[in-house]
Amino acid sequence: MADSPPQITDLTRKFEQNIDSYRNQAYGEAEVRVEFINPFFEALGWDVTNKAGYAEAYKDVIHEDAIKAGATKAPVFTILLKQIAVSFV
């Protein structure tokens, strides 16, 4: 992890130290997103919360986007690069 951004190392440490809490059924998707997923992508340079104030078509990340993959699905994030979806979480 020497080459990881320090924020990712911190997230990994936090997860390892509290893993039993995160395995509890009471720990839900929203908490995972706020505590781990958002900070992870922010550490990689993505503007997860649209701090730049871009219009929907120009955002780095679309939340709860609807995509058609056989049936319509709603990934937590659609990661965009130059307005093209490159990843789904």
Q: Residue 63 forms beta bridges with which residues?
A: 77
Strands 84-88 and 71-73: unpaired
40 and 77 belong to one structural domain: no
38 and 53 belong to one structural domain: no
41 and 2 belong to one structural domain: yes
The domain in which residue 85 lies consists of 47-89
Per-residue pLDDT of the chain (89 residues; tens, 9 = 90+): 458 889 999 999 999 999 999 998 899 888 988 999 899 989 988 898 999 999 988 888 777 666 556 655 555 566 666 665 655 66
Q: How far is CA 52 from CA 7, 46, 78, in A?
A: 21, 11, 17
